Structures are given as C-alpha cells and as structure tokens.
A and B are shown apart, each in its own frame.
Chain A
Amino acid sequence: MRTAEFSFKGKSWNAGLSKLNRADVYGWSEIQRHDQEGQTCEIATLVEGRHVLPSGSVSMLKRDEMGNPVKTSDLIGVDRQGTQVDKQPSVYAGPVQLSKGQLDDYLAMAVKAVYVMQSDDENPFEAQLNSGELLQLQFNYREDYEADDAFMLSNGNDVFLVTGQVAELEFLSQHQAESPIESEGDAEAEDELMDFSMF
C-alpha cells in the first residue's frame, strides 16, 4: 500500500490511507426499479424530448470567450482576490507536518472524506491520539490548488484521518433573529389573499 509520512515533534510515521465508506461498515440499501416485464431500469437523460442518453453519454466541456475548448491543465488557480496561487502538494509527496489540533475546529469542520490509516510500523503518536488529542494537517490526496483541513484521531483501536473544511461559525446576538417558517395554516391564509385569476 502507498504510504505517506507524517511528522510531529521530531517523530515520524509512515501510514497508508484507506477510504472509509459507511457501506463497508454497515452495508447499504438501494432501490431497484423494474418495468412491467420485470426488466431492470436505469436512469437516463432525455434531451429535446426524443434523444435518450444512457449513463456516460454526457461529458463536461470548458470553453473560452471565443468558444474554443480549454483543457483543465491549461487553467491556473487563483484566490478570492484573483491572485495566482501555487499548487499544494499531495499528502504522498513528502513528509507532512502535523500540529496540535483544536477540538472546536474539528467540530466546526464540514466533513468531506474519512480515511482509516494503516501501517505495519509502530505509531509514535498512538498514546496522545488514544488520550483524545487531535493532530491537524493540510490535506490533498492529489496535488491541487486548494488544500483541505484534516484531523488525525483515534477511537482507541484504529487511527482515522477526517478531512473537510473548517467552517467560520456565525455567532448570533439577540437582534439577528431568523424569520420563523410559516405553518401550513398561515400559508393557506396567504393564498386566499392572492388572486391567481388576475394573471
């Protein structure tokens, strides 16, 4: 298995990443659809009401202002201010520096993917991870312009890498009240005031 090197306080650990899917832990369910003859049906795209496009028949194309097709590899990354940014290396590209992670940051993270870390080497961070500490890093599975946030944590048996984006939380004061959602009764009363026959 391909491994990445993680370093923290002079110690390093080589571990592989195996994506954790819920289905691999609990199983899954799927809805199968059949026609009247019992044949399995698949979802497809219908264009102009007459062309049936089975799965895999549509691709994405990027083009410039002149209508010429553009390769993704010709594009460059920019930040919100429009300044060009460099690509962030893949987690496999070299030693990844870990830092101590904050629990509140982890809890504010919109989770994208979870990996189970696998290694035959002894984990030098095992004791602190088992005690509930979190280790943080910048994560890119592949080289990309924007890196995700990631936290390494343990459940006592295995070590996991949870990746995503730590959100900026909105703290609410009294005057920042949300409008309540109307109940059905209110909506019906509103409908009576609107005369659709006028259109």
Chain B
Amino acid sequence: MVLPDGSAPETLRVIKGSATTAVAHLCDALIGPLESPDGTAELVREIELAEHIIKSDPEVDLELHGKFITDADRVYVNPQMRPVFRLKEEEHIFSAKRELVEKRTPRVVLSNIAESDMVKWSGKMLPKRAIVQKVLLTKKYQVKHINGLTFSFLFDLAKQLDEKEALMPVGAGEKGNQPLVMSDGGKPYRAFLEGRVRGDSYCLILHLTDQELKAPQKDEA
C-alpha cells in the first residue's frame, strides 16, 4: 500500500489515552468513588462524566495525547492502574461451552525436540488425503540436512513418503507417541512428516496440528 505519488507512508504508534484519562479514573477523580457496585450507579456516574467531558475535555491530556511512541515497556497493572511486580498466576480452563472447568497452577511445558529428546517417527505411512480430511495442518516447518550423511537419510525418507503419497506421524517421548513441543512454554502439537522429491533434491515438511477438522458441537435447543 503506497501513496498516490508512489511513496510509502510511515506508520507510527500514537498515544490517544492514558491511565489518568481512562473512564474509571475520571469517574473517581471528578465524581467520587463508586458507592454501590450495581450497574445503575455506574451508569449514572458515566452520564455525569459525559457532562464533564462536554464542558471541560478532561479526557484530553494536552501534554501526552498525540505523542509518538518510540520506546515502550509492557507492565502489569492493577485496577487502580498501578504497576504490579509481584504477581500470582492462576490458569483457568474453560470448556467449549465457555464454562469454567478448572483453576490450577500454570504448568510449564518444556520443549521436547532437543537432541536429548529425540523425535521419533512411527514408521506408519498414512494416506495424505485421509489425513487432510481428519486434521487441520496449521503449522509447517521444513526439515533440512546439515551434511552429506543427513542429506542421504532425509532424501530417502522424503522419497519414500513421496512415492507412497503418505504422511508419517512423528512424536516425542519414549514411545514416540507424545505431542511435540517446539519451544519452552510452547503449545503441544501432533506432527506429521511429508516428503517431496524433485530430481536429486527434496523437500521434507513437518506439519503440526492441534485441531481436528471438525465443527463445534451445536447447542441442543
């Protein structure tokens, strides 16, 4: 996307609000603290704030608004918009029906594809067409050789998969049936290898999936 004269526009991040001009802060500062936390009282406060905004523009900070951001940090803040540095973390698990199922201490998932945790293939050749009708292969990595020996090994593997028009499940763990975690803290994925050969060159793709090809269950009326 360019300007009509062919030059590229510059994109900048600009400040349009801050903690001191947020609705909740303005309500507290101009109207006073919320006495009863029911929705009506909050609505009345906001209507009153609207009058202040029309009369005196308290939502505009002339020093800050419109300023370009060149450097910024991310920080956690509490409802009073004060930075918090000692946080307690809790993982909430929700069902597909959006119900809270479980609260637990977050689990740290470590990568399992490093040298010490060898990725194992199952040896099973599954027809490509059957797999694509069952799972969504959303992420892809290309597997590359690092020397002549690994070239021969990967080329042969790609050739076999290409000839049989098949995908091969690969996994981690002792039996090679665990999902792959590509990086520490990453998501676990089921994985399939796909191979293609063109002359004396090959392309070996590691497909990752965390989702079957299926529609959400319809709510029973």
Contacts and interface: CB of A to CB of B under 8 A. Distances in A.
Nearest to A18: B215
B164 interface: no
Contacts of A22: 210-211
Given A26-B96, A33-B89, 12 more contacts: A20-B216, A30-B94, A44-B81, A45-B69, A45-B72, A58-B14, A60-B11, A61-B14, A76-B4, A82-B2, A153-B132, A177-B148
B144 A172 contact: yes
A32 interface: yes
A106 B142 CA distance: 16
A6 interface: no
Interface of B: 1-4, 6-7, 9-19, 22, 64, 67-69, 71-79, 81-84, 86-97, 101, 106, 115, 128-130, 132-134, 136-138, 140, 142, 144-148, 150-151, 194, 196, 198, 200-203, 205, 207, 210-217
A53 B19 contact: yes
A25 B214 contact: yes
A63 B77 contact: no
Interface string A44-59: 1111010111101111
Contacts of B7: 64-65
Size band of the A side of the interface? 35 or more
A52 to B, nearest CB: 4
A78 B142 CA distance: 30
A110 B16 CA distance: 35
Contacts of B101: 27
A contact patch SS: mixed
A104 B166 CA distance: 11
Contacts of B216: 20, 24-25, 116
Q: Which 5 A-B pairs have the closest CB atoms?
A: A57-B17, A178-B144, A171-B201, A24-B216, A52-B19
A72 B11 CA distance: 11
Nearest to A151: B132
Given A44-B76, A51-B64, A103-B128, A31 B96 contact: no
Interface stretch (A8-16, A35-43, A187-195): A35-43
Contacts of B96: 23-27
A111 B17 contact: no
A54 B74 CA distance: 10
